[in-house]
Amino acid sequence: MAEPTASSVSNDCAVAAVRLSCLCKNFGSLSALADLDVQIGAGELFGFVGPDGAGKTTLLRILAGVKHSTSGEARIFDEDPRQARLRVGYLTQHFSLYSELSIDENLKYYAGVRNVSRANFEQRREALLQRVGLSEFRNRIAGHLSGGMRQKLALCCVLMSDPDLLLLDEPTTGLDPLSRGEVWQLIRELVTDGKTVVIATPHFDEGQRCSRVALMQGGRILAAGPPSELIKQLGSTRLEIRCDKLQAATRLLLKAQERPDIAFNEMNVYGDRVDLISVDPAVVQSDVQTMLSQAGMSSYTVSFAEPTLENVFIASLRARGFVEPECPPFPFAGASAQIAGEIAIEARQLGKRFGHFTAVDKVSIDIRHGEIFGLLGANGAGKTTTIQMLTGLIKPTTGEILVGEQCGKLGTSEFRRRLGYMSQKFTLYDDLTVAENLAFYAAAYSLDASLRQQRVEWVLSMCELSKLQHTVVGSLPWGLKQRIAFGASVLHQPSLLFLDEPTAGLDPVARRQLWRIIRDFAAHGCAVVVTTHFLDDAEYCHRLGLMIEGQLAAQGAPGEIKTAAGHQFSASLEEAFISIVLQTRTVPV
């Protein structure tokens, strides 16, 4: 395998839009950015791709001139970033709009503080609003816009001063697939107009749309170059294996992975397929086919596909000597896979209104033991409200919830004992140490002493935290907190597990590890409900429900959803969802 090591990135161009030399940023003893050397030419669409905590936001802030670096140099069009700031448009991660102001007032403010002449303002406002389709809403208050509209308005605000360089920090996070597509369309148009665009994103598929990317982890660049070249350098092919008895096939493949004669170096299990990465795809294909046929399976397909940037990312980590951590299995007690298939919880025509606002409307789902159900949708689509009703935290306005035999009655303490819930934030107490947090949850679930010790140790070893157990949680990086929070929510081995955005902020390795554990719980009979707006995550689920504006627009296995939307198995879920959204949309998003 060719090693993608180009950590210093250069592109021969007369005037570099961005030039970083030995750029470092430390927060106390923590190194957020270490020795970055990057040159971005004018007119490029450049992506910094990596998980939360990779240093993307810090880097963009330095480029925007709102934060000092510790050492090294950052130049924008050969000027200090602070000097060049009027040539730069910076879109922060959280919409930096004034939500009390109207669309028009927001634009006027941005133009005013960035020296835009009145004539230019009038002209650009018309052109921009026309372009993103917001012309008719110009008097609407920004706080009343949908997520997609807000992000488009934020882009218009940034474009008001006609900047030469755009810095976009996660411009599509939290958007529905359709708005995401529209924002990307706009970004491509801007590049065509001759602007330089630098984008920070945790999504590898978005990296694939850039002309060049730098894959980042822990403040360093793992690999950089045009995505297609990085993938080519990998010298491998991805094999997608689909099979009606996926669990059995997975077990066979796991065993095969240990055999020296089968040549695949990466395996990842999704909801209805298994991916293998191999330098020798033809051989692996025939080996796998032989193996599956020998095991008496007949309906399976093994197809070739291009590796993704995520595969490049993991390969680069390995090339740097990274070894995937051993994760001990969860110490299950008295669990049975026999209940698999029984209904754990069922919602019938569930609805929730807050005043005049209908947050959830006629949602019917059933979730079975042994199954991972993914609830997908944009921010504000009603996912969290649905979860809160299913966990008994809020009362539905209409409809009913039936709980299976295993879990008691909704709202009783018996039900709560069988329930595991990891909410998006605030699950852990920042002022307590890791050990204190876990001890608190273990005691709150009234685990007896022997189980408690065993399970707390499991969480600590899963997070590789044994040495840091007496550290205060608030000082740990976000991704690690996320894993501890997951550990805390399963200490009592729940039969029904709700996970609200469990993988947000995790790097690909940690994300795969977490999904392995979630699958393990499902295999032991746990019913798992996962909410996410991360489409990468959706592929890991057995079944999916897509929520749009409070309603369930589609339901089924990932492959079923793709075919139902009229696409191939190999299509991305994003394409499938855009088709579905376009078919069901009632009001402009």
> By the criterion CB under 8 A, which residues form the site for other proteins?
27-28, 32, 58, 61, 64-68, 82, 85-86, 88, 90, 92-94, 96-98, 109-110, 113-115, 429, 431-433, 436, 440, 443-444, 446, 472
Q: Smallest gap, in angstroms, from Cβ of residue 87 to other proteins?
A: 11
Provide φ and ψ at 371, rounded to 5°: -120, 145
> H helices of 332-419, where?
383-390, 413-418
**Is the CB of 307 or the CB of 479 nearer to other proteins?**
479
Closest-CA residue to 173 (of 67, 99, 92, 100):
92
The helix (run of H) or strand (run of E) holding residue 319 is helix 309-319
Q: Smallest gap, in angstroms, from Cβ of residue 441 to other proteins?
A: 9
Q: Smallest gap, in angstroms, from Cβ of residue 439 to other proteins?
A: 8
**Is the CB of 64 or the CB of 214 nearer to other proteins?**
64
Q: How far apart are CA 195 and CA 548, in angstroms?
A: 34
Q: Smallest gap, in angstroms, from Cβ of residue 426 to other proteins?
A: 13
Q: What is the DSSP letter of 79?
A: B
Closest-CA residue to 50 (of 527, 484, 543, 479):
479
Closest-CA residue to 514 (of 492, 484, 544):
484
Q: Smallest gap, in angstroms, from Cβ of residue 62 to other proteins?
A: 10
**Is the CB of 299 or the CB of 450 nearer to other proteins?**
450
Q: How far apart are CA 193 and CA 187, in angstroms?
A: 10
**Is the CB of 95 or the CB of 577 nearer to other proteins?**
95
Q: Smallest gap, in angstroms, from Cβ of residue 454 to other proteins?
A: 19
**Is the CB of 345 or the CB of 473 nearer to other proteins?**
473
Q: Smallest gap, in angstroms, from Cβ of residue 557 to other proteins?
A: 39
CB-CB contact of 378 with 179 (8 Å): yes
- To 5 degrees, how large is the angle CA 502–CA 522–CA 298? 120
> How crowded is the C-beta side of 367, counted as CA atoms within 13 Å?
31
Q: What is the DSSP letter of 325?
A: P
Q: Smallest gap, in angstroms, from Cβ of residue 93 to other proteins?
A: 8
**Is the CB of 229 or the CB of 414 nearer to other proteins?**
414
Q: Smallest gap, in angstroms, from Cβ of residue 429 to other proteins?
A: 6
Q: How far apart are CA 169 and CA 199, in angstroms?
A: 6
**Structure tokens, 482:** 């996320």
**Structure tokens, 388:** 């809160």
Q: How far apart are CA 563 and CA 556, in angstroms?
A: 10
**Is the CB of 81 or the CB of 370 nearer to other proteins?**
81
Q: Smallest gap, in angstroms, from Cβ of residue 113 to other proteins?
A: 4
How many C-beta atoms lie closer than 10 Å to residue 226's C-beta? 13
Q: Are strands 165-169 and 196-201 parallel, antiparallel or unpaired?
A: parallel
The identity of residue 222, as a single letter, is L
- Residues near 57 by Cβ (< 8 Å), separated by ≥ 6? 93, 169, 200
**Structure tokens, 165:** 């360089």
Q: Smallest gap, in angstroms, from Cβ of residue 588 to other proteins?
A: 26
**Is the CB of 65 or the CB of 374 nearer to other proteins?**
65
**Is the CB of 90 or the CB of 521 nearer to other proteins?**
90
Closest-CA residue to 47 (of 220, 227, 207, 219):
207
Q: How far apart are CA 291 and CA 279, in angstroms?
A: 19
**Is the CB of 91 or the CB of 389 nearer to other proteins?**
91
Q: Smallest gap, in angstroms, from Cβ of residue 66 to other proteins?
A: 4
**Is the CB of 99 or the CB of 257 nearer to other proteins?**
99
β-strand partners of 46: 198, 212
How many C-beta atoms lie closer than 10 Å to residue 585's C-beta? 14
**Structure tokens, 380:** 């504000």
**Is the CB of 78 or the CB of 431 nearer to other proteins?**
431
